[in-house]
Structure 1
Amino acid sequence: MKESENFIDIQGARVHNLKDVSLKIPREKLVVITGLSGSGKSSLAFDTIYAEGQRRYMETFSAYIRQFIGNLERPDVDKIDGLSPVIAIEQKTTSKSPRSTVGTITELYDYIRLLFARVGTAYSYVSQEKMVNYSDDQILQLILEEYMEKKIIILSPLIKARKGHYRELFESLSRQGFLRVRVDGEIMDLKPGMRVDRYKTHDIELIVDRIKVKKDENDLKRLIDSIKTAMHYGEESIVLIDLETEQTRYFSRKLMCPSSGISYSLPEPNSFSFNSPKGMCLNCKGLGNQFEVSRNKIIPDDRLSIEKGGIAPLGELKSNWGFKQMEVIAKRYKFSLSDPIKIIPEQALEVILKGGKEKFSIASNSLGITRDYKIDYEGIENFIKNQFDNTDSTGIKRWAQSYMDEKRCSVCEGARLKQESLNFKIDKLNIAEVSALDLGDLYFWFENLSNKLSTNELIVANQIIKEIKSRLQFLLDVGLNYLALNRSSKSLSGGEAQRIRLATQIGSQLVGVLYILDEPSIGLHQRDNEKLINSLQSLRDIGNSVIVVEHDKDMILRADHIIDIGPMAGKNGGEIISQGSPKMLKKQQTLTAQYLNNQKKIELPKFRRKGNGKSIILSGCSGNNLKNIDVEIPLGIMIGVSGVSGSGKSTLINETLYPILNSFIYNGVKPPLPYKKIEGLKYLDKVVDVNQSPIGRTPRSNPATYCGMFSEIRNLFTLTPEAQIRGYKPGRFSFNVKGGRCETCQGGGMKVIEMNFLPDVHVECESCNGKRFNRETLEIRFKGKSIADVLEMTVNQACSFFINHPKIYRKLKTVQDVGLGYITLGQSSTTLSGGEAQRIKLATELSKKDTGQTLFILDEPTTGLHFEDIRVLMEVLDQLVKKGNTVLIIEHNMDVIKLVDHLIDIGPEGGKKGGTLVGQGTPEEIVKIKKSYTGKHLAKELKTV
């Protein structure tokens, strides 16, 4: 076998901070890439190996196709050999679409739809009876058996419980030669101009024939013809009335309720799809939720008058059509626009909000001529609803939505499907109820389903059930037993989305593929780590190569091969400092090896702080899976919130506590999930949510602009004598506006050259040589440096440079303190990792003056962080607490949990089996709770330190 078939051979990789790296990565092994945050791990795994794999895949398309799908930029690397097809499984949320669920992205819901279409039993939503369907021969045989020598009427059901005058229908039937219809149980002759009350619901049936059932050949032929005619007009359904007993009987080729006569079409997989018109609830269009106009948002304060902005969508009094209508209504109902809304007559308020049948007369002056107009007034609520439903404008839709609440659909109650679809059942459950089961319970349900189906049903369902169970098992293996198939994709964390993709890939059983994963252990409790590692090893064992960017100790030690990148981060990283087996790595003296050998460790605090004696007490939390829990959050200390994945940590903190605090302190509008009471809000004057979302969406955003120091730096440049002489203002030193920037590249520093059928080439701008600014701007010097020179400085260099400028220095020093001294001031924010982005946000908050009454909330801050990065981060957070603030961390990492002063453990399991308070207290107290999984793993950490 050639060496290139055993290894991925990379020569001269220079992407981002990689320093001409050359290495060989063994194929069909589990390889872990580790190192400090910002050392170059993602640059090697994703921006070099994956980017080249994607580029080669795109090259396989014809030139004609490539011009439509674009080309990928070639990574800066001399050569990569031995590269097989590459699939990257990253931490990005799968889909923002409200139509995407766990079931749709795993394709499990497609199999379940197929199962319900093939073996589901239909029940009537009126009588709950089992639905039946007949062939034409069966219908004829039943009529001959049950109605022999009896007089019957054969009817076609045309309209079932619908409003309308139906004049056109009656005229059409009359033209076709029919003489009678039955309307709401009463037989009527068809007459010219016939119509019914359009505002009432009606049942209309066409009388096809009145016949005595006999076996005579002519009578039999007439009966058969009448059945066919009735079937044609009744859309495969007919009604029979026994004239002697006046009993009604229903028959249908479709599924039909024998007592009420309602019918369903024969099921197909699309009948159970909330993304198809055949299956979706027509009220909410398959979303499960609908927006309803909120009276509280239209009238936020009923003490205000209409002219003072009491009706929010109208604003304050102005001369426009809306207020002209208000004046007419006020005159009609005898109130003034200056009256507080709370004293306006209820009838008048109802008309203002909902409109009415009454027409109003409004005088309008145009070109000196006054005319009276009679207008229909639709009401503010209806106007907002119509704007939301009928506009294509994003801005108008957003405006309308600001006066609406999202509520569960009143028709399907969140199930997303039509009434008919929800009345097909297997083992007493409909498809929405099956989709609502936790994946663990769902697997158990399918495990037992074979015993509940008939022999014929099993022949059809066996293969489908086998496929469903196989895919479910892969999801359980990666620790996702607490999720349900109806869970919206946009509510998944990055770690959950990544593990779903991983399970899907294992289920696909591809061979010879290179998988690259970005920290799959994120969001996963230590308890479930073993399952995840086994899943990755099974992916390797079937003949794939697996590269994982990871910091988890267990994952590193179970790898076949480790690549350690460093020695430090940023410009001081980008080198392969060690590679080999875990045994070989432990013999090295790299930072990673020192932590693996316990030569270096994150030390326990000398004592646990008690806090300032004040607390926030949150009672009766019952959102999602929380089971009416009460939690005390002591202030002035560091608090951890732990528990297995899906136990309810984010529900408690991000979706209940944070919205309450945000509303109280900043008048935030996002409603919290249900709770009964909160005490102690007066002890806080600020709440800060520090998450890992990017600090900028464009390459023009950088740490200097985000932290707010770039404005101060530009001000310094305007104070130089040369800038004063030339009259330069701060805008002159911005690369985002005309004046001082290089117009050739518009301040980007790079030019993009389109190569048609080849990838676009990014080249340094020849006018400014990548400096972003024009020659005149670069002539201005501060302490010998141009504005471009300053942006190229690392934070460490800038700290020395601006040491005599307190405003700038304070902001730089906090960035340095959080361990980001290696990044440059002008580094594009799109190149920063999630961990780096979070620490920049933290540094920005640290640099602000605070009162010591701030609550900092961090959700898994250790994402993307090496052991050493975690040590630095925890020192920074400790400084915040020493200033009197409170730090609340949602975390699974034991290196963090062992350092907190107070731990809130939620669980014991995920999903429906979680949501209870397992315990709260110091880490030492949690260790004593037997049912705490966190305590079990924490005990090992407290012993080894």
Structure 2
Amino acid sequence: MPKSRSASSIRIRGARVHNLQSVDVEIPRDAITVITGVSGSGKSSLAFDTLFAEGQRQYIDSLSAYARQFLDSLPRPDVDLIDGLAPTMAIDQKPGSTSARSTVATVTEIYDYLRLLFSRVGLPHCGSCGAAIARQSADVIRDALLSRPEGSKLVLMAPMVRGRKGAHRDVFESIQVAGLVRVRVDGEMYLLEDAPELAVRKNHTIEAVVDRLVVREGVESRLADSLSLALRLGKGLVTAAVQDESGNWIDSIYNTAMACIECGASVEEIEPRTFSFNSPYGACPTCDGLGQVDSGDGKTICPSCNGGRLRSEAMGVTIDGVSITELTAMNLTDAATWIGGLGPTLSPLHRAVAKPIQSEVSKRLEFLDEVGVSYLTLDRSAETLSGGELQRVRLATSIGSGLVGVCYILDEPSIGLHPADHDRLIRCLRRLQQNGNTVVVVEHDEATMRAADRLIDVGPGAGAQGGKIVAAGTPKRIQANKRSLTGRYLSGVDAVPVPETRRAADRFLTLTDVNTHNLKTITARFPLGCLIGISGVSGSGKSSLVVDTLLPAVEYQLAHGKRLPTPAGGIAQFGKLTGAAELDKLVPIDQAPIGRSPRSCPATYSGVLDEIRKVFAATREAKTRGFTTSRFSFNSAAGRCELCKGHGVERISMNFLSDLFVTCPRCGGKRFNRQTLQVRFKGANVADVLAMTIDQAAAFFENMPSAHRLLSSLQAVGLGYMHLGQSSTTLSGGEAQRIKLGTELARTSTGNTLYVLDEPTTGLHFDDVKRLVGVLQRLVDSGNTVVVIEHDFDLLACCDWIIDLGPSGGINGGRLMAEGTPEQIAGRADNATARFLAKKLR
């Protein structure tokens, strides 16, 4: 039978979430659909706040009543109808649950397989002398204990439970059956009958006390018998506690399976948790498995594990001479080669054990290579990944999961990718779709748009001027649609104009012999008073050059040596910096959040709220009531709603789902108490003003120069659609960066400022890029120098100077491929950037 209309597509009717204006749209199932439009047009409202939100709500409603009691019901999005909806999964750029302990290997579950591989196949080595660990006989253990000084007190114990959750009543019973009367529980000694009740959800260690004796002549036979019993109960393990000269009890663990032939040192049984830096059995005790320790201005590499995170016993286990820390320090390409070549040197038994593990790891490494992140190392902290990198890592994990019938929703997966890598990303999306899934992508990348089965253009403008479906259909149909702004750019009718001339490069800020991270002792020249683009494939060294070297080096010189250049990730390594004397200010503008709580918003970060508070405090009503400017701050107890503490929302923990924020029932999201809201200016209270868009507020405060200047700057960077009080937790990295840029624009410029931006086109439509280029050019026209790390060739084509790194990522990158004007770069035949730049300069 043919599929019904509802089964072949996802139908959305009457969507009114945020600025969507009763949108009706169909998204074909088992196809790739790209949703595009200018910033603030309603793309994310449609994809995430409508489509994904309803999918998540339906999933929770499908759970059992028992499961739902731990979760709050999600409100239905403001939509008349959504049918044909498949189970939804969002792969966005948010860090989620990643922490300092999360790495590329753990996020992709590759590390779980590696832990299993090394525990089953690895060869342990002694942490003291480096010799291979061999089995230890009971006689050898006995002789080691008898070698203690005469008179030494000794307690022999059989480890029964080691770091396991549970009450373990059966363990205590087995100890009693063995005829023993003492036990050590979590380091404390008890008579068996006095042993405490154990908390079920806590880890416990239980050791049966087999014998207590003193080392002296004639004890040999008794020690041998007790040792035999302890090894039998402990399944090959025995703990010997010996009292030293100071009266302290020192534990030594002996193992009939694992001991050093040379020095007799024992190690515990090698298990998967031996290699876990999240477990006390594997984590380096100095850094607690973080690989770094606190010292002076910041984190330094742990001196005990040298950043490996693990105990020496774990790092001493090798396969073909490679430890697990050495393997995870490899980039994904080298790791795949090592895993693929494993086998010939292994025994037949070990080869059989390793084979299925090899298959799973190789498959995941293959997917990571497909999405263009092969330059990453397995031990790379997830916290240091860009939003785009993290999203592509998650995408590779989803492809490897093999799920079918799922609706995947992605948020600009091309962010941070050089166009040379876009084809690989598109192939991954197509593979996900061909596996029987629906793929919905919010995207501005031209190549991704052209590769889509269906293109949905949302607009025509931002905020209240957006929220409509301007056009929907195949990319070719959109390209032919004159009403579609996206279509006009795809067809070439509209374009970001390329300057006819370039600014002269005659004064340089020069960094010599830079070898930070993967940079290969390069010398880079940054012409002062120019717009400079830093290009290259992902992982080529762009951030290493600019963020980790140029920024701290300039900062150090401007501070006249008061602070050392200590960027995250280590000391910048370079020969010297010249030309910085011509600068008097450094302004880095990154994509870090402008605040980490719902209380932060564009109004607070830009400082416009301070001006607004002055306006309200100057009203007659405020003066009559004795209200000062602090009354109109939601950080002040006097003026804010005390139920939500000025947040406007309440946070609800959703356990394994993302936390949910719901509108405060007392203030209705207005953030302020009733008395504060009674004060009005031109008929609006302070909550009404914060609910305005930046465009609306600029008109409202037209006659207030200080407030209007700040608002006009935010308008200039394309944020007019944004609400003044919009929570910082809802802002994208690109929006946060443009708020910072707009705030800087409003400040008085000296004309000798170095501005550094990291991919400012993130989240921008073609038309938004045109506006951004105009803003950056104005900054340079004032005599400033602007450096942008960028992949967008509309912006790169407008630069005066380009520094291109490559040829690829990771250890195969870090070389200066070319520098010069866009025309000079485009004329090179040996350069990946040149190919794409030439198309923009035609």
TM value normalised by structure 1:
0.74
User: Deviation of residue 648 (structure 1)?
Assistant: 1.3
Q: Deviations over 1:262-308 (max 9, x none)?
A: 3334422222222223322223222222234x4xxxxxxxxxxxxxx
The residue number in structure 2 matching 1:607 is 501
8 Å Cα contact 2:667/2:673 also seen in 1:
no
**Counterpart residue number, 2:23:** 21
In 1, the alpha carbon distance for the partners of 2:78 and 2:259 equals 67
Partner of 1:291: 294
User: What SS does the aligned partner of 1:156 have?
Assistant: helix
1:169 aligns with 2:173: no
Cα distance, 1:110 vs structure 2: 1.2
| Residue 257 of structure 1, CA deviation | 3.1
Q: Are the structure 2 counterparts of residues 581 and 413 from structure 1 closer, same or farther at C-alpha, using a change threshold of 3 Å?
A: same
| SS of aligned partner of 1:157 | helix
Contact 2:12 2:24 in 1 (8 A): yes
Whether 1:488 and 2:381 are equivalent positions in the alignment is yes
Give matches, 1:143-222, under 5 Å: 155-158=142-145, 169=153
TM-aligned CA distance change 1:127 to 1:839, over 3 Å: closer
SS at match of 2:34: strand
Q: In the alignment, which of 595, 600, 625 is matched to residue 518 of structure 2?
A: 625
Larger deviation: 885-894 or 650-659?
A: 650-659
1:475 CA displacement: 0.5
Once the two structures are superposed, the pairs formed by residues 644-659 of structure 1 within 5 Å of their partners are 644-659=537-552
Q: What's the counterpart of residue 822 of structure 1?
A: 721
The structure-2 alpha-carbon separation of the partners of 1:15 and 1:119, relative to structure 1 and needing over 3 Å to count, comes to same
1:572-594 CA distances to partner (integer Å, 9 max, x unpaired)? 00011111111211121211000
Quote the sequence identity (%): 47
Please list the CA deviations of residues 122-157 of structure 1 after superposition, one character each: whole Å capped at 9, or x if unmatched. Answer: 344555444333788xx9xxxxxxxxxxxxx99432
Q: Is the 8 A contact 1:157 1:205 kept in 2?
A: no
Distance, in Å, in 1 between the alignment partners of 2:504 and 2:279 is 57
Give yes or no for the alignment of 1:838 onto 2:737: yes
- Tell me which of 754, 765, 770 is aligned to 1:855: 754
d(CA) in 1 for partners of 2:303 and 2:125?
Answer: 21
Task: State the TM-score, normalized to the length of structure 2.
Answer: 0.82
Shift of 1:821: 2.6
Q: Deviations over 1:548-599 (max 9, x none)?
A: 0000000000001111100001110001111111121112121100000011
**1:255 corresponds to which residue?**
258
Alpha-carbon offset, residue 78 of structure 1: 1.8
Alpha-carbon displacement from aligned partner over 1:73-131 (angstroms, at most 9, x marks no partner): 32211221111111100112355522211111111111112112222223445554443
Residues 1:508 and 2:401 aligned together: yes
1:710 partner letter: L
Contact conserved, 1:12 with 1:79, CA < 8 A, in 2? Answer: yes
Deviations 1:768-799 (A, max 9, x none): 996956478546444x6554554444433443
- Secondary structure, aligned partner of 2:322: coil
Q: Deviations over 1:814-833 (max 9, x none)?
A: 12222223334344444444
Aligned amino acid, residue 259 of structure 1: E
From the superposition, tell whether residues 230 and 49 of structure 1 become closer, same or farther in structure 2 (CA, over 3 Å): closer
Aligned position for 1:86: 88
Amino acid in structure 2 at the alignment position of 1:258: I
Confirm or deny: 8 A CA contact 2:151 2:214 kept in the other structure.
no
Cα shift at 1:910: 0.6
Distance 1:411 1:232, change over 3 A: farther
Whether 2:421 is the aligned partner of 1:553: answer no
Task: Say if 1:133 and 1:255, in contact at 8 Å, map to a contact too.
Answer: yes
- C-alpha distance in 1, partners of 2:122/2:428? 34
The whole-number CA distance in structure 2 between the counterparts of 1:493 and 1:760 is: 24
Query: Bigger CA drift: 127-136 or 55-64?
Result: 127-136
Cα deviation, residue 443, structure 1: 1.1
Task: Verify: 1:880 aligned to 2:779, yes or no.
Answer: yes
2:362 aligned partner, one-letter code? K
Distance in 2, matches of 1:623 and 1:32, equals: 38
Work out whether residues 640 and 671 of structure 2, in 8 Å CA contact, stay in contact via their aligned partners in 1. no
Question: In the alignment, residue 414 of structure 2 is paired with which amino acid?
Answer: S
Whether the 8 Å CA contact 1:707–1:811 is kept in 2: the answer is yes
Length, aligned pairs only: 759
Query: Gaps spanning 5+ residues in structure 2: where?
Result: 158-212, 240-253, 654-658
Match of 1:275 in 2: 278
* C-alpha separation in 1, matches of 2:309 and 2:765: 44
The answer as to 2:486 corresponding to 1:592 is: yes
2:116 to 114, 117, 130: 114
Q: What residue number does 2:712 align with?
A: 813
Pairs within 5 Å for 1:465-864: 465-589=358-482, 590-611=484-505, 613-665=506-558, 671-672=566-567, 673-721=572-620, 723-724=622-623, 727-734=626-633, 736-737=635-636, 774=674, 778=678, 780-782=680-682, 786-864=685-763
Per mean C-alpha deviation after superposition, the further-off stretch among 87-96 and 530-539 is: 87-96
* Equivalent of residue 35 in structure 1, options 34, 37, 51: 37
Which runs of no fewer than 5 residues in structure 1 stay unpaired? 140-152, 174-203, 212-220, 239-250, 295-403
Return closer, same or farther for 1:738/1:677 CA change in 2, 3 Å cut-off: same
Aligned 8 A contact 1:435 1:484 in 2: yes
1:423 pairs with 2:307: no
Which amino acid counterpart does residue 399 of structure 2 have in structure 1?
I
Partner SS state of residue 805, structure 2: strand
Rounded Cα–Cα distance in structure 1 between residues aligned with 2:141 and 2:258: 19
Give the secondary-structure state (helix, strand or coil) at the position aligned to 2:134. coil
3-state SS, counterpart of residue 153 of structure 2: helix
What secondary structure sits across from 1:490 in the alignment?
A: helix
Q: Measured at CA, do residues 748 and 900 of structure 1 come closer, stay the same or move farther in structure 2, by a change above 3 Å?
A: same
Deviations 1:488-525 (A, max 9, x none): 11111111110010000100100111100000001111
Q: Which has the larger radius of gyration?
A: 1
Query: Distance between the aligned counterparts of 1:485 and 1:771, measured in 2?
Result: 44
Aligned partners of 1:291 and 1:739: how far apart in 2?
39
State the AA in 2 paired with 1:804: N
The verdict on how the C-alpha distance between 1:77 and 1:774 changes in structure 2, with shifts beyond 3 A counting, is same
Alpha carbons of structure 1 residues 911 and 227: separation in structure 2 relative to 1, 3 Å: same
Displacement, 1:532? 0.5
Alpha-carbon RMSD across the aligned residues, in angstroms, is 3.7
Cα contact 2:151–2:216 (8 A) shared by 1: no
User: How far 1:624 moved relative to its partner?
Assistant: 1.8
Separation in structure 2 between the aligned mates of residue 279 and residue 718 of structure 1, nearest angstrom: 59
